[in-house]
Amino acid sequence: MRFIHTSDWHLGRTLHNQSLLDEQAQMLETLLALIETHEVDALVIAGDIFDRSVPPAAAVSLLDAFLDKVIQQLKVSVIAIGGNHDGQERLAFGARQMARAGLYIQGPVSASISPVRVDGKHGAAFFYPIPYAEPALVRHLLEDESIQSHQDAMAALLSKVQAHNSNGLPKIVVSHCFLDGGSESDSERPLSIGGADKITPALFTPFDYAALGHLHGPQYKGAEHVRYSGSPLKYSFSEQHQNKSVTLVDMVPAKAPDIRLLPIKPQRDVRIIEGHLDTLLAQGAKDPGRDDYLMVRLLDTHAILEPMAKLRAVYPNVLHLERTGLMQERSMEGPGRERMQKSELTMFEDFFNQVQGESLSGPQKALMSDLIASLHREAGQ
Amino acid sequence: MRFIHTSDWHLGRTLHNQSLLDEQAQMLETLLALIETHEVDALVIAGDIFDRSVPPAAAVSLLDAFLDKVIQQLKVSVIAIGGNHDGQERLAFGARQMARAGLYIQGPVSASISPVRVDGKHGAAFFYPIPYAEPALVRHLLEDESIQSHQDAMAALLSKVQAHNSNGLPKIVVSHCFLDGGSESDSERPLSIGGADKITPALFTPFDYAALGHLHGPQYKGAEHVRYSGSPLKYSFSEQHQNKSVTLVDMVPAKAPDIRLLPIKPQRDVRIIEGHLDTLLAQGAKDPGRDDYLMVRLLDTHAILEPMAKLRAVYPNVLHLERTGLMQERSMEGPGRERMQKSELTMFEDFFNQVQGESLSGPQKALMSDLIASLHREAGQ
């Protein structure tokens, strides 16, 4: 059995109000090529396929077209589960009809598990799709009052997987959860408040492979075969240094699975650049990645007129701007009203300088200073 | 070929803020029994399956469970199209995977038609699903600038059906549109403003059967085989006298199809009752339909305290109340300020009477009359 494990596509997501649908379409093209090149038997998508329970219609069409190619053209089975971002009832519409074609979508969790046997060129295996579920739902479904936490719920569901007779075939669990010790990014939505969402990795180690979703950085916990594939795209600037990939897994009889990360190179990278405006503008001209989605941290300590427009003339996809220099400068100044006044006068001096091309004269500066002070008095500060 | 033609389910719809999901679930149970009893080869749903493009998750689950029973248990093929209420991209997710199981959902219209051949116990036939589409979309898809109206668009699409070689098998067109001369109810959403949405029935008469959706009353236009099944439930009080049904169709070689209407008896009827409050309350005690969804027209000409609460004590599902008597009484009175004043005093007298159990005394009445007059003066009327 050879399969690709991926998760957290978040189709339909935006980054600082920029739609990422083009990037996502290009990512799916790359994934399609990898599926073909590596002749996999199955594709596993471990939740958060869509970014929200009601995704944009264009995201629905994108997924539909992709799955059709995987299933009808490449004849590769797909096992997919709902994550905490997905609207599971919507995702699962028609799932029982699609199963016949080799598309196994597990929507809401049910009291019984639904093992999926896939017979591939590289051998057979059982997949056990366990969608994201609130502990209260699992407690209700299994009629087991002792289920209080995510840990309890997962233990109860996995005991059913344990009990299933796979006739010696590898058991691959597909789940969307938060393993204790896992590294978070800024783009995952917490499963619950206060840490009650964490599950010990030891629950998954008895199985031949655990294909997990939720955390956006690729990582394993407890054992190498208990893995997060991570998202195939960067969904926050905190992920700028993550190498995004999908995970290629070969089940090897009587041995640990063979695992390789297949890099996904995005159309546009998501990264942070830092420096003074003039330097950044000069560098941009020869930066092959100037189309990337950028957060810019400006180190300049003076006010700048329309810095976003100036940056976007060179870097068209600047999504967010931080005036790092200005904030540091201000935090070094004296506290209270005096600092505010000085800072406002300084900013106006910078502004006047840029617009008029000359400095404020002495009388002009005095007038402006009086004006700012009187405004503060009027505001009662 | 024997099939049931139905349309306009509007799953997830509310009637005067009352969810109809229970009624819809019960209607689908009835339909399931009819499909089984009449041993049909196919079920045709001619659009407006859901009431809106993003239906409630419970409506999605309801349809999913129903279709699974039809297809997997009864082994009956389903041909469904999107109507003007449906979100067609969402409806069509996974459609190509479901087709293998016998579930043919045609989402957005495409440049090519997709004939569906069904081989049933009662013979074979071709179905041609043509979902609802704006003329502009058809113009764009077919790259034909001459397409301006719904009529033009349908003619262009139907010419493709004409051209398709069915090897002598019956041609059944499935479409969601507004035929010229069709009778409307209050619950259809107009396809366009100003009547440019209408299509001549003659476009459909050349085919062996046209299974249409959009109009909520069962009817045929132009020829008996060009039919609206109508909705299986009443979705407005204007439909109170319609007999809701689904249409059973038997294709007969070299003859007109054999058509029968199969009544759908709702769990609760939707109807209007009219009378004086006391009479209606007395009748309600022995009314077997007192649980029906009711619009009540009260003929009483005096003000009544909390009429809705009084009615609902007997008829729990009164959804709408019209004070027909009060409105007639008022319209018969003199015009202008004098009428307003008289009416308000009369209403207060009724109110006082009901709350205190006695009439206003002469001085009380004079006081109230003065008060109303002074209020009108203050309001500048």
Convert the pLDDT of each residue in B117-133 to its tens digit: 999 999 999 999 999 99
- pLDDT of B332 above 70: no
Q: How far is B248 from chain A (nearest CA, A)?
A: 25
Give the per-residue pLDDT at B330: 54
DSSP H stretches of helix in chain B: 21-37, 57-68, 88-91, 95-98, 135-142, 150-163, 277-284, 307-314, 324-332, 336-356, 362-378
- pLDDT of B210 above 90: yes
Mean pLDDT of chain A: 90
Minimal-distance CA residue of chain A relative to B75:
A97
A89, B57: Cβ pair inside 8 Å? yes
Give the per-residue pLDDT at A95: 87
Least confident of A186-190, A341-345, A354-358, B205-209: A341-345
For tokens 């169709």, the residue is B249
Give the per-residue pLDDT at B381: 53
SS3 B161: helix
Digit-coded pLDDT (tens) for B334-350: 445 555 555 788 888 88
Q: How far is A66 from chain B (nearest CA, A)?
A: 10
Q: CA B295, CA B319: separation in Å to the nearest integer? A: 6
Give the per-residue pLDDT at B349: 84
- pLDDT of B196 above 80: no
Let me know whether A254 and A276 are in one domain: no
Residues 6 or more apart in contact with residue B241 via CB below 8 angstroms: none
End-to-end C-alpha distance for chain A, whole angstroms? 71
Give the per-residue pLDDT at A362: 87
Which structural domain, as residue segments, surrounds residue B22? 2-263
User: For B14-27, what is the mean pLDDT?
Assistant: 92
- ∠ CA B182-B105-A44, nearest 5°, is 155
CB-based contact, A377 to chain B, within 8 Å: no
Decide: residue A335, CB within 10 A, 0-12 exposed, 13-18 middle, 19+ buried: exposed
Residues 6 or more apart in contact with residue A370 via CB below 8 angstroms: none
Q: Would you tell me which residues 26-55 of chain A have a C-beta closer than 8 angstroms to some C-beta of chain B?
A: 53-54
Let me know whether B184 and B56 are in one domain: yes
CB-based contact, A98 to chain B, within 8 Å: yes
Which residue, among B49, B54, B66, B98, would best test binding to A if mutated, counting the most A CBs under 10 Å from its CB?
Answer: B98
- pLDDT of B20 above 90: yes
Contacts of B93 in chain A (CB under 8 A): 60, 63-64, 93-94
B61, A96: Cβ pair inside 8 Å? no
- pLDDT of A92 above 90: no
Q: How far is A110 from chain B (nearest CA, A)?
A: 14
Q: CA B117, CA B127: separation in Å to the nearest integer? A: 6
Let me know whether A209 and A282 are in one domain: no
Minimal-distance CA residue of chain A relative to B105:
A94
Contacts of B89 in chain A (CB under 8 A): 57-58, 60-61, 64
Give the per-residue pLDDT at A318: 94
Q: Judge whether A5 and A249 are in contact, CB under 8 Å.
A: yes
Let me know whether B243 and B343 are in one domain: no
Give the per-residue pLDDT at B342: 56
Let me know whether B191 and B255 are in one domain: yes
Give the per-residue pLDDT at A50: 94
Contacts of B64 in chain A (CB under 8 A): 89, 92-96
Residues 6 or more apart in contact with residue B265 via CB below 8 angstroms: B30
Least confident of B268-272, B310-314, B323-327: B323-327
- pLDDT of B77 above 90: yes
SS3 A42: strand
Digit-coded pLDDT (tens) for A101-113: 999 999 899 888 8
Contacts of B57 in chain A (CB under 8 A): 53, 87, 89-90
Distances (CA, A) of A184 to A137, A181, A187, A374, B264: 25, 9, 8, 48, 55
Let me know whether A284 and A314 are in one domain: yes
Neighbouring-strand partners of residue B294: B271, B318
How many domains does chain B fold into?
A: 2
Widest Cα–Cα separation across chain B: 91
CB-based contact, B72 to chain A, within 8 Å: yes
Distances (CA, A) of B143 to A104, B10, B109, B148, B197: 38, 32, 14, 12, 20
Let me know whether B246 and B354 are in one domain: no
SS3 B56: coil
Q: CA A119, CA A132: separation in Å to the nearest integer? A: 26
Domain boundary at B238, B263, B288, which? B263
Digit-coded pLDDT (tens) for B94-104: 888 889 899 99
Mean pLDDT of chain B: 89
Encoding tokens for residue A296?
Answer: 């810019």
Q: Which of B126, B137, B198, B131 is nearest to B162 (CA)?
A: B126
Q: CA A141, CA B287: separation in Å to the nearest integer? A: 41
B60, A90: Cβ pair inside 8 Å? yes
Give the per-residue pLDDT at A372: 86
Contacts of A95 in chain B (CB under 8 A): 64
Minimal-distance CA residue of chain A relative to B67:
A94
B89, A60: Cβ pair inside 8 Å? yes
SS3 B287: coil
Q: CA B228, CA B207: separation in Å to the nearest integer? A: 15
Order of strands across the sheet that contains B219-221: B116-120, B123-130, B171-176, B209-213, B223-228, B219-221
Encoding tokens for residue A259?
Answer: 């695992």
- pLDDT of B80 above 90: yes
CB-based contact, B68 to chain A, within 8 Å: yes
Let me know whether B17 and B32 are in one domain: yes
Q: CA A24, CA A7: separation in Å to the nearest integer? A: 13
CB-based contact, B58 to chain A, within 8 Å: yes
CB-based contact, A65 to chain B, within 8 Å: no
| Strand-pair category, B2-6 with B318-322 | unpaired
Distances (CA, A) of A348 to A15, B247, B373: 33, 77, 63
Contacts of B58 in chain A (CB under 8 A): 89
Domain boundary at B214, B234, B263, which? B263
For tokens 């790359």, the residue is A30
Let me know whether A251 and A365 are in one domain: no
Least confident of B5-9, B44-48, B88-92, B185-189: B185-189
CB-based contact, A74 to chain B, within 8 Å: no
Digit-coded pLDDT (tens) for B133-184: 999 999 999 999 999 999 999 999 999 999 999 999 999 999 999 998 888 8
CB-based contact, B347 to chain A, within 8 Å: no
A57, B90: Cβ pair inside 8 Å? yes
- pLDDT of B216 above 90: yes
Contacts of A68 in chain B (CB under 8 A): 96-97
Domain boundary at B247, B263, B279, which? B263
Digit-coded pLDDT (tens) for A106-136: 989 988 889 999 999 999 999 999 999 999 9
DSSP-derived letter for residue B257 is P
Residue among A89, A92, A94 whose CB faces B103 most closely: A94
SS3 B92: coil
Contacts of A58 in chain B (CB under 8 A): 89
Contacts of B61 in chain A (CB under 8 A): 89
- pLDDT of A4 above 60: yes
Q: Between A and B, how many residue pairs show a Cβ–Cβ distance under 8 A?
A: 80
Residue among B58, B94, B105 whose CB faces A103 most closely: B94
Q: How many CA atoms lie within 13 A of A351 on its CB side?
A: 9
Confidence of residue A329 (pLDDT cuts 50, 70, 90): low
Which residue, among A98, A103, A104, would best test binding to B if mutated, counting the most B CBs under 10 Å from its CB?
Answer: A98
Let me know whether A101 and A203 are in one domain: yes
Give the per-residue pLDDT at B97: 87
Contacts of A69 in chain B (CB under 8 A): none
Phi, psi (rounded to 5 degrees) for B380: 75, 25
**Alpha-carbon dihedral angle through residues B226, B70, B31, B218, given to the nearest 10 degrees:** -10
Residues 6 or more apart in contact with residue B269 via CB below 8 angstroms: B234, B289, B292, B293
Digit-coded pLDDT (tens) for A266-317: 989 999 999 999 999 999 989 999 999 999 999 988 888 889 999 999 999 9
CATH number for the domain including A254? 3.60.21.10
Residue among A54, A68, A97 whose CB faces B71 most closely: A97
Give the per-residue pLDDT at B335: 47
A58, B89: Cβ pair inside 8 Å? yes
pLDDT above 90: percentage of residues in chain A: 64
Confidence of residue B253 (pLDDT cuts 50, 70, 90): confident
A89, B60: Cβ pair inside 8 Å? yes
Q: How far is A105 from chain B (nearest CA, A)?
A: 10
Let me know whether B250 and B351 are in one domain: no
For tokens 């959804």, the residue is B319
- pLDDT of A335 above 50: no
Q: How far is B68 from chain A (nearest CA, A)?
A: 7
Let me know whether B131 and B200 are in one domain: yes
